[in-house]
Amino acid sequence: MMKQMKIPLLLVEDEPHIAQGLIFNLEEEGYQVSHVESGEQALEQLTKKSYALIILDLALPGISGLEVCEQLREQENQIPILMLTARGTEQDRITGLSKGADDYLAKPFNLKEFLLRVAGLLRRASWQPDNLENEFYSFGKNRINLETHQAETTHGTIQLTELEMKMLLLFFAQEGKILSRGELLQQVWGMLPGTETRTLDNFIVRLRKYFEAEPIKPRYFRTIRGRGYQFIQNPE
């Protein structure tokens, strides 16, 4: 059985209907979401599992989101934090950021903006799945060590570059989804959509050379004409 790696997020939100909506949309985006309802539970959960990002409501029963934030930073935990709050005042925003939150969103917020902020924080943190249980990602005869970036492929052992790894993680996290060229360029190189698409195409050619038994007949890294690229972990 092959493991599928998804980016794990921790959602700390006590209002059930808000939590449900966020979980639904985050999972649609391909993230793996753990949900807790209080700051105490959040701190406990963080001792059990590694997360790429915390989405933290400010007003919680028991200790507040701010206190959670403060405690984590005191423990030198640098996990990215996106703070959510109903209070949209400038003072709250400043307090949140001064306690170590990385970004801040006032309720009610636009869902699209929320998802963009999550993606933006993950990108800025250049998230590495260092402490995850799934140290390897496999597809076909390929096996990639997510810590050392070494890959065992059909064509031998290779050492992946940082950019190659970044792109692979994007594909793996959103397995089965079609990623547009603009999206990939922006996420991997941070460029504006529409620039340097040849760089991207060359990258895909390289990935196919590494991981496809027949690079000219790709099964895993597919071109979807007019739309972009798609990674399939278990093709027919």
- Shortest Å distance, C-beta 208 to Ca ion: 47
- Shortest Å distance, C-beta 99 to Ca ion: 17
Site string for Ca ion, 80-119 (x = CB under 5 A): ----------------------------------------
- Shortest Å distance, C-beta 82 to Ca ion: 14
Q: Which residues, numbered 41-60, are part of the site for Ca ion (CB under 5 A)?
A: 57, 59
Name which of 49, 210, 212 is nearest 134 in CA terms: 49
Name which of 147, 148, 140 is nearest 207 in CA terms: 140
- Shortest Å distance, C-beta 59 to Ca ion: 4
Closer residue to Ca ion, CB minimum distance, 57 or 212: 57
- Shortest Å distance, C-beta 58 to Ca ion: 7
Closer residue to Ca ion, CB minimum distance, 57 or 175: 57
Site string for Ca ion, 14-33 (x = CB under 5 A): x-------------------
Q: How many of the chain's residues bind Ca ion (CB under 5 A)?
A: 3
Closer residue to Ca ion, CB minimum distance, 9 or 83: 83
Closer residue to Ca ion, CB minimum distance, 57 or 103: 57
Residues of this chain that interact with Ca ion (CB under 5 A) are 14, 57, 59
